[in-house]
A = this chain, B = another copy of it.
């Protein structure tokens, strides 16, 4: 491999930057079609109720109303993203069919915000007015908001189909899915331990709060073809889901992924509004746009799963982990969505970050009458990592070890195969720990013990790619065209949700072919023209789509080399391309510009300069039923990082100020350092918010009480520390394109633990429930005063 990269590894500006700063980029609400109508959704005011009747007659009569629909106007086909992978496990899962959501509910509503009816009108105001004219008669049902309550015998049953012989009054009440994974010999492991630590942690229902709310436009043409403009992370899978939900073939559906103002996982599954817009468009014969209000977005888009994590870890007196038991109760909310994924990821982390050979994991995903959780940057990882990394500090303190040394002792290393079977082909964890502590002045600051000041650290591992969302594959397809003037067009199904994938893929294509970045044109996220990509999740874009584009570029380049070989009378193996020039490595006088060779290929020899590739990661499913995999496991590569937080805690108010963050991230080969750094900065913002302020809250009727930008406390610029000190640890992963791994999700994974550990270092209280609000800190400080000198844990 060429070690002198020309495009890869450079902090080139985003290709879509100019479009965005000039306001030319078109997000969903910027798309205006002629004769377009506006759709609005009537949502349930009750957290749990039977739908007795719906009277739409008054709404229909309102001038300007074009259509009013209820469930009976839809195909009434239930959907659930989890169904895709469940198909693969047919016969091995407790249920065969996990589809539990209708675009419009016909029988029950299960959370405040559930879809009941919808209207299309000539303008938004009329549509809104029409909603108020729809009369729905409900029969209210008892509700349950707490997952532990929901599991108890006699709790209100949210999905009737879960009432089955044998489980209706047993432990599995309201359980959407559960896993039990066993690794090594857990009892032996605990026997070997000198100390056993047992703690319980609670995490909050963080919301993505994307800058752009959800939205879609649907339009039918007269030949029966459907086009959907969507703000989505997963254009191709969205087409698949719509195809199933409408029972129509995929080639009649075109999904166009418009510019996406943030996704963070919330935009990687089909939503009811996409089907509702489609049905309204069919009924009105006009394009129909539905864009969520911010309030709607807070309750009716997905969230992170709140989890109750019970963690028991055995260690030797030297600090070696001998065994670990974990139990997670995930609060699913009203519908399953992709709940099994985060639950499973939480279990995966337990044996992945550190060398843990003996383990037992129990996970339960439990329905409650609340807005339902789905995918969110890190999946189930931040929850479990908050638990693990908080507990690691407690262990270190008990063993009188520097937390840094405890982590280094147990750290995952290159060449390891984890207890679940994941092969770690590249691993910069130890280097991350060493460099982040060096750079942050860890040793000195831990010893100084400045009053109110604290320094804390936490580590993470995460996947980069994930086999097992859409069956037993993890693929991306790409086409590459080298044009007759030597410029390049790349077509791939990936979506750019703002993370910068367009730029990274263009860098990879330019590097592989040997042209300049500005020579590459990216066409992405249009299912009519772009080959399938499973989408942007699991930090897979750079690695999986990157490999697909690289392979397709190499395929297209073959023709260029063949042509140049004829023109230069040199064998293709002796040719190299860079900076738009094809040269012989043996004879430097033999050289031609790509533009000339491409021209000849098209106009003198008819040689193909088209490339195509489907890159399916050479990975193995982590079996959902057993929790085991064959190496290398579900991801082609694993990410590692270590973060150090410094905080100042005001003992009078409990207010925590984050002073700074130092981050060291192993991202494999770094394709674009500036963009990796901006990913880390953005993730830190979400991570610190997760640590200190964020989370949806509910009143006793199940209504979210802070579902506005004013009430839901995201950090503002003034709340944030200066942007992170960045250390990029460049391991070269054998499966990554040029050695690259992902970087999208990971930086928020350990952030809450690092902050919690720093708070403990500052004022000696350990908060185990997110978010760590001033009230909690203050309460803990008060309790601590009452029980000095013992440092205590507050749940």
Residue ranges of A at the interface with B (Cβ–Cβ < 8 Å): 18-19, 22, 24, 32, 34, 84, 87-88, 221-223, 240, 243, 249-252, 470-475, 477, 479, 481, 483-485, 487-489, 491, 519-521, 523, 526, 528-532, 559, 602-614, 616-617
A614 B610 Cβ-Cβ under 8 A: yes
**Cβ contacts under 8 Å, A491 to chain B:** 479, 529
Given A470-B603, A473-B606, A605-B473, is A19 in contact with B221 using a C-beta cutoff of 8 Å? yes
A481 (CB) vs chain B CBs: closest residue: B531
User: How many copies of the chain does the oligomer comprise?
Assistant: 2
A611 to chain B minimum Cβ distance, whole angstroms, is 7
**Cβ contacts under 8 Å, A611 to chain B:** 612
Q: A483-B532, A529-B529, A606-B617 are in contact. List 16 more A-B contacts (CB 8 A).
A: A24-B223, A87-B603, A240-B485, A243-B485, A471-B602, A472-B605, A472-B606, A473-B602, A473-B603, A475-B602, A477-B608, A481-B532, A489-B528, A521-B528, A608-B612, A611-B612
Given A34-B32, A479-B610, A521-B251, is A532 in contact with B605 using a C-beta cutoff of 8 Å? no
A544 to chain B minimum Cβ distance, whole angstroms, is 10
A613 B608 Cβ-Cβ under 8 A: yes
B88 A604 Cβ-Cβ under 8 A: yes
A613 B613 Cβ-Cβ under 8 A: no
B532 A484 Cβ-Cβ under 8 A: yes
A606 (CB) vs chain B CBs: closest residue: B616
**Cβ contacts under 8 Å, A477 to chain B:** 481, 608, 610
**Cβ contacts under 8 Å, A249 to chain B:** 485, 487, 519
B472 A604 Cβ-Cβ under 8 A: yes
Give Cα A472–Cα B610 distance, bound, in whole angstroms.
19
A513 to chain B minimum Cβ distance, whole angstroms, is 12
A18 (CB) vs chain B CBs: closest residue: B223
Give Cα A251–Cα B482 distance, bound, in whole angstroms.
10
A43 to chain B minimum Cβ distance, whole angstroms, is 32
B612 A612 Cβ-Cβ under 8 A: yes
**Cβ contacts under 8 Å, A602 to chain B:** 470-471, 473, 475, 532
B614 A521 Cβ-Cβ under 8 A: no
Where chain A touches its partner, the secondary structure class is mixed
A581 to chain B minimum Cβ distance, whole angstroms, is 16
A521 B252 Cβ-Cβ under 8 A: yes
- Residue of B223, B471, B489, B532 near A604 (CB, 8 A) is B471
Give Cα A471–Cα B479 distance, bound, in whole angstroms.
25
A228 to chain B minimum Cβ distance, whole angstroms, is 15
A514 to chain B minimum Cβ distance, whole angstroms, is 15
Given A221-B19, A222-B19, A604-B88, is A251 in contact with B520 using a C-beta cutoff of 8 Å? yes
A519 B251 Cβ-Cβ under 8 A: yes
A23 (CB) vs chain B CBs: closest residue: B222
A331 to chain B minimum Cβ distance, whole angstroms, is 30
- Residue of B222, B475, B607, B609 near A24 (CB, 8 A) is B222
A128 to chain B minimum Cβ distance, whole angstroms, is 25
**Cβ contacts under 8 Å, A616 to chain B:** 605-607
A220 to chain B minimum Cβ distance, whole angstroms, is 10
A16 (CB) vs chain B CBs: closest residue: B223
A selection of 23 A-B contacts at a CB cut-off of 8 Å is A24-B222, A24-B223, A32-B34, A87-B603, A88-B604, A240-B485, A243-B485, A250-B485, A251-B487, A251-B519, A251-B520, A252-B487, A473-B603, A473-B606, A477-B481, A479-B610, A484-B532, A523-B528, A526-B529, A529-B529, A529-B530, A559-B614, A610-B614
A598 (CB) vs chain B CBs: closest residue: B250
A20 to chain B minimum Cβ distance, whole angstroms, is 10
A561 to chain B minimum Cβ distance, whole angstroms, is 15
Give Cα A616–Cα B609 distance, bound, in whole angstroms.
12
Closest 10 CB pairs of A and B: A606-B616, A471-B603, A608-B614, A251-B487, A529-B529, A473-B606, A251-B521, A610-B612, A612-B612, A22-B222
**Cβ contacts under 8 Å, A530 to chain B:** 529
A250 B484 Cβ-Cβ under 8 A: yes
A776 to chain B minimum Cβ distance, whole angstroms, is 45
A252 to chain B minimum Cβ distance, whole angstroms, is 7
- Residue of B32, B488, B604, B605 near A251 (CB, 8 A) is B488
Give Cα A70–Cα B361 distance, bound, in whole angstroms.
77
- Residue of B470, B489, B529, B617 near A523 (CB, 8 A) is B529
Give Cα A604–Cα B519 distance, bound, in whole angstroms.
36
Give Cα A603–Cα B249 distance, bound, in whole angstroms.
17
A559 (CB) vs chain B CBs: closest residue: B614
A140 to chain B minimum Cβ distance, whole angstroms, is 41
**Cβ contacts under 8 Å, A603 to chain B:** 84, 87-88, 470-473
A610 B613 Cβ-Cβ under 8 A: yes
**Cβ contacts under 8 Å, A223 to chain B:** 18-19, 24
**Cβ contacts under 8 Å, A610 to chain B:** 477, 479, 531, 612-614
Give the most central of A222, A481, A531: most B CB within 10 Å.
Answer: A481
**Cβ contacts under 8 Å, A22 to chain B:** 222
**Cβ contacts under 8 Å, A222 to chain B:** 18-19, 22, 24
**Cβ contacts under 8 Å, A606 to chain B:** 472-475, 614, 616-617
Give Cα A602–Cα B616 distance, bound, in whole angstroms.
9
A704 to chain B minimum Cβ distance, whole angstroms, is 36
A504 to chain B minimum Cβ distance, whole angstroms, is 18
A730 to chain B minimum Cβ distance, whole angstroms, is 28
Give Cα A488–Cα B251 distance, bound, in whole angstroms.
7
A476 (CB) vs chain B CBs: closest residue: B606
**Cβ contacts under 8 Å, A612 to chain B:** 479, 608, 610-612
A487 B613 Cβ-Cβ under 8 A: no
A735 to chain B minimum Cβ distance, whole angstroms, is 14
Give Cα A771–Cα B611 distance, bound, in whole angstroms.
51
A237 (CB) vs chain B CBs: closest residue: B484
**Cβ contacts under 8 Å, A479 to chain B:** 479, 491, 610, 612
**Cβ contacts under 8 Å, A614 to chain B:** 559, 606-610
Give Cα A18–Cα B220 distance, bound, in whole angstroms.
13
B483 A250 Cβ-Cβ under 8 A: yes
A483 (CB) vs chain B CBs: closest residue: B250
A254 to chain B minimum Cβ distance, whole angstroms, is 9
Give Cα A603–Cα B475 distance, bound, in whole angstroms.
9
**Cβ contacts under 8 Å, A88 to chain B:** 603-604
A471 (CB) vs chain B CBs: closest residue: B603
A484 B240 Cβ-Cβ under 8 A: yes
A728 to chain B minimum Cβ distance, whole angstroms, is 29
**Cβ contacts under 8 Å, A605 to chain B:** 472-473, 616
Give Cα A528–Cα B19 distance, bound, in whole angstroms.
18
A244 to chain B minimum Cβ distance, whole angstroms, is 9
**Cβ contacts under 8 Å, A87 to chain B:** 603
Give Cα A24–Cα B220 distance, bound, in whole angstroms.
11
Give Cα A627–Cα B77 distance, bound, in whole angstroms.
67
